[in-house]
Structure 1
Amino acid sequence: MTDPRHSGAGASAPDSLNDPQVVQHLKHARSLMMDYAQRVLPVFWREWCARLEDYAERARSNKEQMALYEYKRMIEASQHELEEDIGQRLSNGFVKFKNRMLNTLTGEERFSGDMLALVEHSDLEETIAITSITHRADSFFAGQLWALQQRLALLNGGEKIDERSNPVSPVQFCEALRKALLNITLDNKTKIIGYKTFDKEVIGALDELYEELNKYFIEENLLPNLRYTALVDDSPQGAEPSEQPDAGEEVPMKDGVPQRRASDRLLSGTATPADTQYQAGLYNAIRLLQNHIAHQVAPTGGAPGGSGPAGEPAVGATPYPSGGGKPYSSQQLVGVLQSLQAEALSQTQAAASQNEAGLVTTPQSIQTVSQQMLAQVAAESDEPGTVDPSDLDTIDLVGLLFEYMLSDDNLPDSVKALLSYLHTPFLKMAFIDKDFFEQTDHPARVLLNSLAEAGARWVSNDGTSQYDMYNKIKTTVFRLLAEFKNDVRLFAEVLLEFNAYTHNLARRQELMERRALEKVQGEEKLREAKQRVNDEVRKRTDNRELPSAVLLLLLQPWSDYLSFVILRYGENADSWRQCLKVMDELLWTLEPKTLEADKTRQLDIQDQVIRALQSGFDTIGYDQGKGKKLLEAVASLQKMALQSRRPEPAPAPMRSKLESIAAEKAGHSRVANEPVTEEEQKIVDNLKMIEFGTWFEYEGGRRLKVAWYNKRTLHYMLVDQQGRKVAMNSGLQLARDMIAGRARIIAGSTKPFFERALENIYQQLNAKVGGHSQEEAQND
Structure 2
Amino acid sequence: MLCDHWAEPTLRLCLDRFDKRLYERAEQSRNHFDQQQCFDSRHLLRKGRTAFIESFAARLRESFERMSPQEDEQAASGALNLHSLTLLDRTEHELTAALDTLAARAEAQNGPILSELSYRLAVLVGAPPLEGTQLPPGPQNMARILRAASEPLNLPIEHRLLLLQEFDGSVGRTLVSLYEGINAKLLEEGILPRLRAFAITRIAHGPTHAGSQSIGAGPAAAPTNTAKQRHGSEPIAVLETLRDMLTRQRMPASGMTPAAADRTATPEELQTALSALQQHMVQVTDRTSRELRSAQRLQEELLYQLNLGLPPGAAPMQLTAEQGDTVELVAMLFEQLVQQLHHGPDAHALLGNLQLPLLRMAVADRDFFNLSEHPARQLLGKLADAIDTWLQGPNGETDQHLLAKLSQLVDRAQQEPPTAGLYTTLLADIDHHLTQLMRKAQTAERRHVEAMQGRERLEQARRRAGELMAERFAVVSPRGLLRTLLERAWTDVLALSLLRHEEHSEAFLHQLCITDQLLGQFPIQDPLALRQEVENGLQQIGMPADEAEQVAQRLISAQMPASIAPSPPPAEIAEAVTAEAALDEKSEPAAPPMATPALEEAKPQPPPSRLVDAPSATDLAIRLKQRQRLGEQRNQEASPATQAAVVPPLGLREARIFNHLRQLPFGTWFEFTDPAGGAAAQQKLAWFSPISGNSLFVNRRGQRSDVMNLQELARAIAEGRVRELPPQEDNLLDRAWHALTSNLRRPAPLLPETHS
TM range (shorter): 0.3 to 0.5
TM-score (norm 1): 0.42
Larger radius of gyration: 2
